[in-house]
Amino acid sequence: MFSGPTRYVSLATAAFFGIGAYTAAVTGETLSWPLQLLTAAGVGAVVAAITGLSTLRLSGIYFIIFSFGLAELIRQLVIWYEVNIHKSVGRYLFSDITQEMLYWQLCALAGLVFLAGFLLTRSRYGLALRAIGADETAARHSGIDATAVKLGVFVVSAVFMSVTGAIMAPRWTYIDPAIAFNPMISFQVVIMALLGGAGSLIGPVLGVIPLVLLFEVLTAALPNHFSIVLGLIFIGIVLALPRGVIGLVESTWRRERRAAVTKPETSSAPLLVVENVGKSFGGLRAVDKVSLDVRAGEIFGVIGPNGSGKTTLLNMLSGALVPSVGTIRFDGTIINGLAAHRIARLGLARTFQLVRVMPDLTVAENVATSALFRGSQGGVAAESIHELLVLVGLGDMAESPAGDLTYIDQKRLELARALALRPRLVLLDEWLAGLNPTELETGIKLIASLRDRGITIVMVEHVMDAIRALCDRCVVMSAGVVIARGTPDEVLADPTVITAYLGEPDA
């Protein structure tokens, strides 16, 4: 539910299993069985919300280490509580619940897990999670609040694990922290999910059945070498079946969502106003007090030699970076400091200098990510994803995995994904770079057609023919400051600009 789509490998299973088991042990004598389960769910949810809020900004190895440490941290806290407050470590559990009842309760819980997982994958949150797993930065710029989505699903999965722990607790008559917070549980769950294929709902089941049987045999036959064999199985699965059994046989389930571009109103007032904006990295002023305004409906160029601060400026406009100083207004709203997904939802979309598509998602799904959380209309749109794909020239590629596209087609896809936000302003970061002359001609026509739809464009570009053909006005940046502004012909004839590009002539 969580690790599969997001690819955040979580070893926190033992922590929540232990929380559930220990909550049942502590409340066993005072609360009824349903209330014990509810309490376990509540405690698990609260701990997951607190730890998730503080750690889901971590990714990769840092998140794995944290999640592994969480079980140990909670175990130590419980031991401290038992020693200092309860005055004895461990609890006896006397329950009249039979093993058969526990079995059926676990079956019901498994059914609920699958129902929740099924509903999740069918909801927009399912696609949002997969988008986050494929490329979290691109997902944020598609309007997805990655932190909130991850936190929500982390809490839901933690609740299921806590209730599992609580149901399992009566199987032991005595529980101590070492039993409840056994780290091996986390590894076993990850291995099972990996074997079957963590990316699908049914995958983990395919892993659970053979591995549970194998673990039974191994604990009986090789009790002292169990961990070694488990480690070898782990390595073997990662090397041989990186996407699990299901990844070998499954053709990805796809669906189409609807998204669109609406024609924004044009007005003579500036749509974007940048005032004295600056960004420093340590001692380096990458952008230094830049001011400019972009009128609704125009194509505005940002040019300048390498390293002059153009991408840094675009990153600040799109929310990837927070300006060190200055103000950015988009349609009257101050947007500096806003999270990337909020800026995207306001209708300011972008493409990236180094193209960012979500390779495992289909072309259509990539575009659909932008329609997930766009205003109250969600995925409902006047134009379909298909129409957007036709517009950028990918009409017959909707069901192909984005990772199979050529570089140029990936750029087209990025543009379609940006357009699916129904943006009023699109930031293009060297979108025309690397195109051959024919592709360049098509690309220029495509950008011009966006303006005809009323979309305002800010483009960073090194291809001067495109700047001349497309831009109404532009600024030239050098060493973080604007050194010229005006029409393309004016600025490209400016001696200061020529010097900035070519350097001072030799004396």
Contact residues for ligand ATP (CB under 6 A)? 281, 284, 286, 304, 306-312, 353
Kindly state the smallest distance separating residue 480's Cβ from ligand ATP, in Å.
7
DSSP state of 332: T
Dihedrals φ, ψ of 461, to 5°?
-155, 145
Q: What share of the chain is helix, strand, coil (3-state, %, to 5)?
A: 55, 15, 30
Parallel, antiparallel, or unpaired for β 299-303 and 473-478?
parallel
Torsion (CA) 180, 182, 188, 193 in degrees, nearest 10: 60
Nearer to ligand ATP, 233 or 460 (CB): 460
Select 147 or 353, whichever has its Cβ closest to ligand ATP. Answer: 353
Specify the pairing of strand 456-460 against strand 425-429.
Answer: parallel
CA–CA dist 64, 9 (Å, integer): 6
**Least CB distance from residue 274 to ligand ATP, whole Å?**
14
* Residue 104 vs 281, nearer CB to ligand ATP: 281
CB closer to ligand ATP out of 286 and 418: 286
Distance CA 353, CA 350 (A): 10
d(CA 10, CA 193): 11
As measured in angstroms, the least distance from the Cβ of 425 to ligand ATP is 19
Shortest Å, Cβ 138 to ligand ATP: 18
What's the token pair of residue 412? 């087209």
Nearer to ligand ATP, 189 or 491 (CB): 491
Measured CA to CA, the distance from residue 132 to residue 58 in angstroms comes to 13
The conformation of residue 362, written as its DSSP 8-state character, comes to: B
Where helices occur in 169-263 by DSSP H, the ranges are 177-180, 184-196, 203-221, 226-240, 244-249
The CA distance from 141 to 369, in Å, is 10
Least Å distance, CB 456 to ligand ATP, is 20
**Minimum CB–partner distance for residue 241 and ligand ATP (Å):** 37
Task: Name which of 313 and 455 has its Cβ closer to ligand ATP.
Answer: 313
CB distance 304 to 310 below 8 Å: yes
Helical (H) or strand (E) element with 325: strand 325-330
Beta carbons of 202 and 196 less than 8 angstroms apart? yes
Query: At closest approach, how far in Å is the CB of 427 from ligand ATP?
Result: 12
Nearer to ligand ATP, 223 or 503 (CB): 503
Check: CB of residue 481 under 8 Å from CB of residue 288. Answer: yes
Interior angle at CA 378, CA 123 and CA 125, nearest 5: 25
DSSP annotation string for 396-421: T-TTSBGGGS-HHHHHHHHHHHHHTT
- Lookup: tokens for 152: 């929500």
462-489 burial string, b = 16+ CB within 10 Å, else e? ebeebbebbbebbbbbbbbbbbbeeebe
> Minimal distance in Å, beta carbon 310 to ligand ATP?
4
Are 207 and 196 spatial neighbours (Cβ–Cβ below 8 Å)? yes
How far is it, in rounded angstroms, from Cα 153 to Cα 143?
A: 18
CB of 198 to ligand ATP, least distance (A): 32
Which residue's CB is nearer to ligand ATP, number 69 or number 307? 307
Give the nearer residue to ligand ATP in terms of CB position, either 36 or 311: 311
Give residue for tokens 């087609």: 409
Identify whether the C-beta of residue 385 lies closer than 8 Å to the C-beta of residue 421. Answer: no
Q: Of all helices (H) and strands (E), which one includes residue 457?
A: strand 456-460
Nearer to ligand ATP, 12 or 303 (CB): 303
Report the DSSP pairing between strands 325-330 and 270-281: antiparallel
**Cβ proximity to ligand ATP, 75 vs 356, nearer residue:** 356
**In this complex, which beta carbon is closest to ligand ATP, that of residue 419 or of residue 459?**
459
Least Cβ distance, residue 260 to ligand ATP (angstroms): 31
Residue 304: CB minimum distance to ligand ATP, A? 6
Q: Based on CB atoms, which residue is closest to ligand ATP, 114 or 501? A: 501
CB of 306 to ligand ATP, least distance (A): 4
Handedness of CA 427, 433, 437, 439 (dihedral sign): negative
**Min CB(321)–ligand ATP separation in Å:** 8
